[in-house]
Structure 1
Amino acid sequence: MKDDRTTPVRRTLLRAAAALGAAATAGCFSVDRARTPGGTAATATAAPAPGPPAIAPLKPSAYRLQPLTGYGPPPRTRPLAKPAVRRAPILSWDDGGRRSMVLTFDDGPDPAYTPDILRVLREHEVPAVFFVCGEQVRWNKGLTRRMADEGHVIGNHTWSHPLLPSLGRNAVRSEIARTSDIVERTVGAPPLWFRAPYGAWNRAVFEIGADLGMEPFAWTVDTVDWDTPGTAAITRAVREGAEPGAVVLSHDAGGDRSQTVRALRVWLPELLAGGYEMVLPDRAAL
């Protein structure tokens, strides 16, 4: 984890192990068992230094992907329709028989690694969904705008990446709503997709996410890049999990993501050459 902007996440992880039992009895639905807090991930850190100043806004790229239809700011005279409350997150994407996949990146944006990922995606004309943390957006608004300008979808990954089932409803709403607010202020449109940290949902999380106008979106392929297993291991995970409708989980922040960048440069052109198409999720198709 990063030492200055993501230290609140580590502090949350320290509390999370004790909260897991309570989360289970609350009906928590988790699709990311490998990332549940514990072990070496929950190490104590020193008190954080004051956060860094916001980076200078990046100049919009001349290259633009075709944005997802309807992703722009909704008409102010018509409120965004609230989705039905789900009891399980969307795990894969039914592409109607097309050989397509969805690429997703969590925990960013991070000026150390997100620009490299954006360059790889731009080189291959591939869109992705970036599930951002509000506290990261706060320090990287220019980079967040660049992600949206280049045709990528901005999703909600909470403000500080806590284990949501361990929190009360008011705290859960604050974590999610604050992130939706800063995303809308930064890119001009609210997030339409939400991903719970650690893949841990419960009834309150589903209800609050829907009330804020978002669909819960999970994954089918976990690269486990958060554990820095090596470029080859990350690449192998995507190769073995690739199939029509697959949703790939990677990370562009939260630690050293150089392995993620190197692996992306390997497996992405391989999948494209193998006939796969990378697409964005479409709310109208649900």
Structure 2
Amino acid sequence: MKRDQLLTRRRLLIAGTGAVGAAATAGVLTPVTGDGPAESAPAAGPQTRRPPHSSAYRLQPLTGYGPPQAAPRRTLVRREPLLRVSGRGRTMVLTFDDGPDPRYTPAILDTLAEYDVRAMFFVCGEMAADNKVLLARMADEGHVVGNHTWSHPLLTRLTRRQIRSQMERTCDVIEEAYGERPEWFRAPFGAWNRAAFQLGAELGMEPLAWTVDTLDWTTPGTRFIVDRVENGAAPGVVVLSHDAGGDRSQSVRALRRYLPELLDSGYHVTVPRRV
């Protein structure tokens, strides 16, 4: 009889512990759906200035000294990517895919620095491995670097093991060059599947898509790209552009034209953050 009571009590304790763990995990992220927002960082633009030492934006590598680190948080497995961000006022996010490319990325970084604006760069591992200095600059200037796989494949044609390899190798390169592992992931071609969502979450990354596609990858002309951004501008919008993968000179010129116009129109261009 006593043995049965002890077993029953043990089962209750285990069940209680699991419930507490589930509740704690559910509270890590703000509840959102693919049509809902992720929280954005404080707005950046002409009205804000970077601290004198911009390297403060960069997280220092972990060492064997200092306070104990908190347990890794678990990331919610989503069924669709996030499409928008939330923030005070007219907040927008600019994202650049496929780089870094030494022919175009430095010019984009120069323009962002000129207007004291931060953006997101979804990098490919094979590009990042050859251009680590550019990732270090992104870190120093407060930009967010996300994972865009190693070689930009169509994930829906890969095995689960191949998808994990694409993600993990890129995470490793980003951590080495940028100073921390990525918290955001974007599937090449916007082709998501269950494995991509699950493996991204296992690696601590949230899936972020976009609201406005500039179609700059078709090289439609600078004016066309500018019009796409300005006509699609709205609170919470995530803009997709590219800084690699082809001739991106139009993307560079377009940014120089639409960025000051967005800021003059009262938009705050910033980066999202996990909550």
SS of the residue aligned with 2:142? coil
The match for 2:73 among 71, 76, 81 is: 81
> What is the aligned partner in structure 1 of residue 196 from structure 2?
205
**Structure 2: where are the runs of 5+ without partners?**
1-51
One-letter code aligned to 1:176: M
The aligned runs of 1:8-23 (5 Å cut-off) are none
- TM-score normalised over the length of structure 2: 0.77
Q: Alignment partner for residue 181 of structure 1, among 172, 186, 200?
A: 172
C-alpha distance in 1 between matches for 2:125 and 2:135: 10
Return the alpha-carbon distance in structure 2 between the equivalents of residues 218 and 91 of structure 1. 5
The alpha carbon displacement at 1:282 in A equals 1.2
- Asked if the contact 2:100–2:244 (Cα under 8 Å) also holds between the matched residues in 1, the reply is yes
Is the Cα–Cα contact under 8 Å of residues 63 and 122 in structure 1 kept in the other structure? no
Q: CA deviation at 1:79?
A: 4.4
Question: Map of 1:11-50 to 2, 5 A cutoff?
Answer: none
- Structure 1 position 186, deviation (Å): 1.3
Residues 238-253 of structure 1 aligned to structure 2 (within 5 Å): 238-253=229-244
Matched residue count: 222
Give distance in 1, aligned partners of 2:132 and 2:57.
Answer: 19
| 1:232 and 2:223 are equivalent in the alignment | yes
Contact 1:73 1:190 in 2 (8 A): no
Q: In the alignment, is the contact (CA less than 8 A) between 1:63 and 1:150 conserved in 2?
A: no
Asked if 2 retains the 8 angstrom alpha-carbon contact of 1:191 and 1:214, the reply is yes
Determine the structure 1 residue equivalent to 2:54: 64
> Structure 1 residues 141 and 93, CA, compared in 2 at 3 Å: closer, same or farther?
same
Q: Structure 1: where are the runs of 5+ without partners? A: 1-61
Cα deviation, 1:216-240, whole Å, max 9, x if unaligned, reads 0010010010110000110010011
Structure 2 counterpart SS, 1:120: helix
C-alpha change, 1:115 and 1:256, in structure 2 (3 Å) is: same
Distance in 2 between residues matched to 1:63 and 1:250, nearest whole Å = 29
Contact 2:216 2:242 in 1 (8 A): yes
**Counterparts of 1:164 and 1:76 in 2: how far apart (Å)?**
37
Match of 1:156 in 2: 147
Q: CA RMSD in A?
A: 2.1
Alignment check: 8 A CA contact 1:82 1:212 kept: no
| Residue 263 (structure 1) shift | 0.4
Indicate if the aligned counterparts of 2:74 and 2:202 stay in contact, CA closer than 8 A: yes
Q: Residues of 2 paired with 1:83 and 1:113: CA distance? A: 33
- Following TM superposition, by how much is the alpha carbon of 1:77 offset from its aligned partner in structure 2, in angstroms? 3.1
* Shift, 1:131, TM fit: 0.3
Query: Counterparts of 1:79 and 1:171 in 2: how far apart (Å)?
Result: 28
Greater radius of gyration (CA):
2
Equivalent-residue separation in structure 2 for 1:66 and 1:101 (angstroms): 23
Deviation at 1:80, TM superposition (A): 3.2
Q: Does 2:120 align with 1:129?
A: yes
Cα distance in 2 between the residues matched to 1:79 and 1:136: 31
Normalising by structure 1, we get a TM-score of: 0.74
1:65 Cα deviation (Å)? 8.2
Listed one character per residue, the Cα deviations across residues 4-51 of structure 1 (whole Å, up to 9, x for unaligned) are xxxxxxxxxxxxxxxxxxxxxxxxxxxxxxxxxxxxxxxxxxxxxxxx
Equivalents in 2 of 1:182, 1:99: separation in Å? 34
CA distance 1:238–1:202, change in 2 (3 Å): same
Shift in Å at residue 119 of structure 1?
0.4
- CA 267–145 in structure 1, closer or farther in 2 if over 3 Å, else same: same
State the percentage of identical aligned residues.
59
Secondary structure in 1 matching 2:95:
strand
CA displacement at 1:78 relative to structure 2:
3.0
Tell me, yes or no, if the aligned pair for 1:82 and 1:214 is still in contact at 8 Å: no
Report the CA distance between 1:257 and its aligned residue: 0.5
- Amino acid across the alignment from 1:88: E
Q: Secondary structure at the match of 1:201?
A: coil
Cα deviation per residue 1:82-116 (whole Å; 9 max; x = unaligned)?
21100000001122x42110110000000000000
